[in-house]
């Protein structure tokens, strides 16, 4: 005999049973749009060199890529959102379907240059969450021995921004040894790992970009009014 399940606290009108029939079968044909961010302003920035190498690989794999230059982006809250660099960053966030983040490790964590970019991105932008449901690959460069402090932090940050962070990742130790005088990454197992990460990002982006709205549709938000959602995610109310 089947036991009847009682769920008195569920709003039955807003409770949807997941089904493969709800997946979008009309797949996009355009190139995946990938935004790449790095976390250093140095003239020879190894996080930038990794991002440039990643952009080449993504282009090879069929993506349309854009790299945001953090030079000139003001410190969070020191300017208002009308600043041209802030507008540029937010427009790229909305444009992208997937992202690559790479930061150097400084004092065991991501740099302020990198975090500042994310801090300029609100959870809600014109009624749209600019990062929700988008794919993310995380990378880091190290000045010394290999560690994973930054990629672990970037994963937490990506989850907070409601992004789908792919399983693979890359940490490049002694990055100053991994690039030639022209800024190209030398052949190595570390280079091969970055190839793996970019290939995997492309696969996840192609798989998920047309299902994004379905995967991030939440019961808790369906039972809230639009006004309640706006109040909850609006940073100015905190």
Contact residues for 115 (Cβ-Cβ < 8 A; gap 6+): 39, 157
- Does residue 117 or residue 226 have the better pLDDT? 117
Q: Is the dihedral of CA 38, 138, 126, 65 positive or negative?
A: positive
DSSP type of residue 116: H
137-193, pLDDT tens digit by residue? 999 999 998 989 999 999 999 999 999 999 999 999 999 999 999 999 999 999 999
Say whether 13 sits in a helix, a strand or coil. Answer: coil
Give the per-residue pLDDT at 218: 83
Beta strands in 72-129 (DSSP E): 98-104
Say whether 57 sits in a helix, a strand or coil. Answer: helix
78-109, pLDDT tens digit by residue? 999 999 999 999 999 999 999 999 999 999 99
What are the angstrom distances between the C-alpha of 194 and each of 54, 59, 172, 184, 200?
7, 14, 9, 13, 10
């Amino acid at each position: 005999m089947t036991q009847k399940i009682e769920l008195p606290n569920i709003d039955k009108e807003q409770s949807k049973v997941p089904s493969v029939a709800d997946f979008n079968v009309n797949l996009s044909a355009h190139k995946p749009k990938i935004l790449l961010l790095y976390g250093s302003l140095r003239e020879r920035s190894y996080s930038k060199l990794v991002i440039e190498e990643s952009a080449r690989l993504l282009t090879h794999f069929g993506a349309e890529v854009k790299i945001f230059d953090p030079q000139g982006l003001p410190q969070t809250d020191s300017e208002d959102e009308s600043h041209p660099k802030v507008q540029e960053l937010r427009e790229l966030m909305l444009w992208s379907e997937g992202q690559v983040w790479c930061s150097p490790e400084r004092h065991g964590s991501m740099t302020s240059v990198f975090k500042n970019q994310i801090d300029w991105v609100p959870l809600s932008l014109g009624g749209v969450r600019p990062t929700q449901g988008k794919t993310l690959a995380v990378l880091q460069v190290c000045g010394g021995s290999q560690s994973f402090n930054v990629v672990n932090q970037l994963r937490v940050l990506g989850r907070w921004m409601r992004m789908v962070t792919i399983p693979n990742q890359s940490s490049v130790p002694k990055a100053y040894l991994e690039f030639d005088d022209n800024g190209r990454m030398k052949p190595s197992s570390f280079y091969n790992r970055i190839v793996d990460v970019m290939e995997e990002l492309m696969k996840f982006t192609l798989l998920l970009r047309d299902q994004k709205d379905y995967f991030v549709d939440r019961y808790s938000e369906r039972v809230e009014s639009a006004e309640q959602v706006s109040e909850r995610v609006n940073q100015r109310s905190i």
